Chains A and B, each alone.
Chain A
Amino acid sequence: GQNIDQPTEMTATEGAIVQINCTYQTSGFNGLFWYQQHAGEAPTFLSYNVLDGLEEKGRFSSFLSRSKGYSYLLLKELQMKDSASYLCAVRDSGYSTLTFGKGTMLLVSP
């Protein structure tokens, strides 16, 4: 089984940098995904880590430490449109399904 923890809510200011943490406890591991979800909409893929280290994609970066069961999503140069829920999801080894955390609601203010 999987247990995935993320903070419930975070607030930040436009133009700032924010880091959203995710910890997981799993019986197996075959990748960690970050999705963005605006209210009432579908999750949109942001990034994927399967090996330790940092993956950078424009304003978004994601980090993984498998030994610590820890990941973070880093958002730079925050914009108002970044206000959304950010979902951490883990894929178990040998399975293709994703187990999602409850999501972190990020509110970006002017």
Chain B
Amino acid sequence: EPEVTQTPSHQVTQMGQEVILRCVPISNHLYFYWYRQILGQKVEFLVSFYNNEISEKSEIFDDQFSVERPDGSNFTLKIRSTKLEDSAMYFCASSAGGIDTQYFGPGTRLTVL
């Protein structure tokens, strides 16, 4: 069964450093998402991406964040200058269409020291 994959599973970085989180969505899906979940809190939407551009973004997704689809399979989230409060689990998700079920990857646990 096709699934969303994410790398790395765990990333530790120093405050102020740049990180890139990688995702490979399900191959025939057209919509891609990033969510985050701070430990013990709810899953929060960051950004959605369709047709090579951002379609929606939340207030969390400020200028420090960017997304890219560098090739036909990868979808990345970049945090330019990490802050302590960026420590969270970051989930990538994809869906076939905009109103279809979103399937989540296993997540990347980001720890900012």
Q: Is chain B's binding surface mostly helix, strand, loop or mixed? A: strand
Q: Looking across the interface, which residue of chain B has its beta carbon closest to that of A33? A: B101
Number of interface residues of B (CB under 8 A): 25
A43 to chain B, nearest CB (A): 5
* A44 and B104 form a contact (CB under 8 A): yes
Partner of B41, one of A42, A96, A102: A102
B31 contacts partner chain A, Cβ-Cβ < 8 Å: yes
A-B contact count (CB 8 A): 53
Chain A count of residues within 8 A CB distance of the other chain = 23
The 8 A-B pairs of least Cβ separation, nearest first, read: A96-B98, A42-B104, A100-B43, A102-B42, A97-B45, A43-B104, A100-B42, A42-B106
List residues of chain A with CB under 8 Å of any chain B CB: 30-31, 33, 35, 40-45, 48, 87, 89, 91, 95-103
